[in-house]
Amino acid sequence: MEINSDSYVVFVAFITSFFAVFLSVGIVLGVPAIAAEFGMNNVIQNWITTLTALVIAIFTLPAGQISGKYGVKQSLIFGVSVYLLASIGACLSFSAELFLIFRILQGIGIAFSNVSAIAMVVQAVKPENRGKSLGFTVTGVYLAGSLSPVISGFLVYNFGWRSMFYFVIPFLILCIVLMILKIPQEWKTYEGSKIDATGYILYGIGISLFIYGITNLMNGFGAILLFIGLIMLIIFGYYELRIDSPAFNMNLFKNMKFTSSNIAALCSYLAIASITTILNYHFQYVRGWNAQMSGIMLIITPIIMAILAPNAGKLSDKIHPQKLAAIGMSIATVTLVILVFLDAQTPIYLIVIAMILQGIGMGLFTTPNTNAIMSSVPPNETPNASAAQSAMRTIGQTMSLGLLTLVFAWIMGSLKLSSAYANLIVQSSQLISLICTILCIIAIFASLVGIRSKDAFNN
């Protein structure tokens, strides 16, 4: 049976989504080993994950305009290629500085991959099948989240942390080959536009200072950086409204469904992204488990997400996606309420219940929320919409990890994470969970705001 190019598009998007997340999740299990080898304290250790997320946030919006101008397939090939080379470099790193440089390059590759993969699916697949196809793409994200802890935990425990990076290499090569040989089409929506270099610079510096400032709020310098970053982001938004070929079309935010769904995405990822790290630290440092055992435990949430994502995608083609997103976020909120009381005496069964609820909640939220964002804009704006939803996800994740770094630094100072400071780790985790519970509640209301709006591309 002959496979059509649309099927290859969805398959490639599935694989690239899978491996964009695989290391993002798996690296958490390898962080203790990486930090021990390179002698990192708890602040630098947390930057192993935060740095890549920050770079993704910086390059996501530029990736939207660039992929629209030069073609989403070419941009996806570029992104996967950079990710591939950076993964090889990470394997060969012999110092903390060199390793972090390759983590930066990985972030650039993932940013282009995330934006281009979603945009390519939306452009290639008919609207009536869009939710289903996006569901399969999001399934790649959740399947990676479910398999990565087990695979990465096994690899780290038996072969060392570098084995995680070796594992992704052949799959990234497969994606590049399939795109070159099996997907003949190209999709360009901003072909006549100019590259907005000024906008890129304003956004990149602004978001960098803003995120870095959040992680250093304990001192006056961090607060100053956060304020300057916020001002630069406001200037970026004003500038983008006044030029003909903006890096990002700010007018899309006049669409209430687009705006409310993006706010919901930002708050949800800000609230949820640090849970994996919190639980991993709890298992390894508070309970004394090894990376392999922790990885097996962490499979619970993402495997439920992987099961629910495609079905939620189908439902969002028939039921208002923002209603489904609000229901999902409400369920996920219960998880964080449970984690507010997480300590060494918390029964394992209660942690399992919390992880199951998180899986159900995020499984019902993510695909409908993505469908709401992508369906709320005209076809020629899909790269921008893809960039927006990816930016909300990565900025939310980065801010969540930044919040984690800030709270741990506030409570633990510059101490190295270890079982000797289990009580301080518990205090840090509980405070983060309390803050994130409030953010989840905001995400619920944001999901509901745009339901009754009648926009040009949503009835």
Q: What is the pLDDT of residue 188?
A: 78
Please say if the pLDDT value at position 361 is more than 50.
Answer: yes
The residue among 71 and 132 whose pLDDT is bigger is: 71
Query: In the structure encoding, which two tokens stand for residue 228, read together?
Result: 């300057």
Q: What is the pLDDT of residue 5?
A: 67
Query: In the structure encoding, which two tokens stand for residue 251, read together?
Result: 């007018």
Q: What is the pLDDT of residue 456?
A: 45
Least confident residue range of 47-61, 335-349, 430-444: 47-61
Listed in order, strand segments (DSSP E) in 330-449 are none
* 301-356 per-position pLDDT tens digit: 877 877 777 777 666 666 677 777 888 888 989 988 999 998 888 999 999 999 99
Please say if the pLDDT value at position 67 is more than 50.
Answer: yes
Q: What is the pLDDT of residue 288?
A: 84
- Topology of domain 5-182+255-449 in CATH is Growth Hormone; Chain: A; (1.20.1250)
What is the three-class DSSP state of 11?
Answer: helix
pLDDT band at 392 (very low <50, low <70, confident <90, very high): confident
Cα separation of 348 and 369, whole Å? 31
Of 426, 395, 428, nearest in space to 410 by CA? 428
Q: What percent of the chain shows pLDDT beyond 70? A: 91
Q: What is the pLDDT of residue 128?
A: 66
Q: What is the pLDDT of residue 84?
A: 94
pLDDT band at 459 (very low <50, low <70, confident <90, very high): very low
Residue in this structure with the two tokens 């700010």, named with its chain if needed = 250
Contact 417, 42 (CB under 8 A): yes
Q: What is the pLDDT of residue 451?
A: 66
What are the residue ranges spanned by the domains of the chain? 5-182+255-449, 197-246
pLDDT band at 457 (very low <50, low <70, confident <90, very high): very low
* 364-379 per-position pLDDT tens digit: 887 788 777 877 777 7
Of 336, 278, 326, 277, nearest in space to 442 by CA? 326
Q: What is the pLDDT of residue 317?
A: 66
* 155-212 per-position pLDDT tens digit: 888 898 899 999 999 999 999 998 888 887 887 776 777 778 888 889 889 988 887 8
Length of the chain: 459
* 145-171 per-position pLDDT tens digit: 667 777 888 888 889 889 999 999 999
- φ/ψ (deg, to 5) at 458: -140, 125
Q: What is the pLDDT of residue 173?
A: 93
**Burial state string for 281-310 with b = 16 or more CB within 10 A and e = fewer than 16:** bbbbbbbebebbebbebbbbbbbbbbbbbb
pLDDT band at 1 (very low <50, low <70, confident <90, very high): very low
Please say if the pLDDT value at position 396 is more than 60.
Answer: yes
Query: In the structure encoding, which two tokens stand for residue 16, read together?
Result: 């690239």
Q: What is the pLDDT of residue 450?
A: 64
Listed in order, strand segments (DSSP E) in 104-224 are none
* 21-47 per-position pLDDT tens digit: 888 777 877 888 888 888 776 667 777
pTM of the model: 0.70
- φ/ψ (deg, to 5) at 135: -60, -40
- φ/ψ (deg, to 5) at 288: 80, 25
Of 37, 77, 311, 33, nearest in space to 179 by CA? 77
Instruction: Kindly report the number of other CB atoms within 10 A of residue 357's CB atom.
Output: 20
Contact 282, 344 (CB under 8 A): no
What are all long-range contacts of 203-207, with beta carbons under 8 Å and residues at least 24 apart? 203/58, 203/61, 203/62, 203/233, 203/236, 203/247, 203/248, 204/58, 204/59, 204/62, 205/229, 205/232, 206/230, 206/231, 206/232, 206/233, 206/235, 206/236, 207/54, 207/57, 207/58, 207/233, 207/395
Please say if the pLDDT value at position 62 is more than 60.
Answer: yes
Q: How far is CA 107 from the centre of its chain?
A: 11
Query: In the structure encoding, which two tokens stand for residue 398, read together?
Result: 């980065």
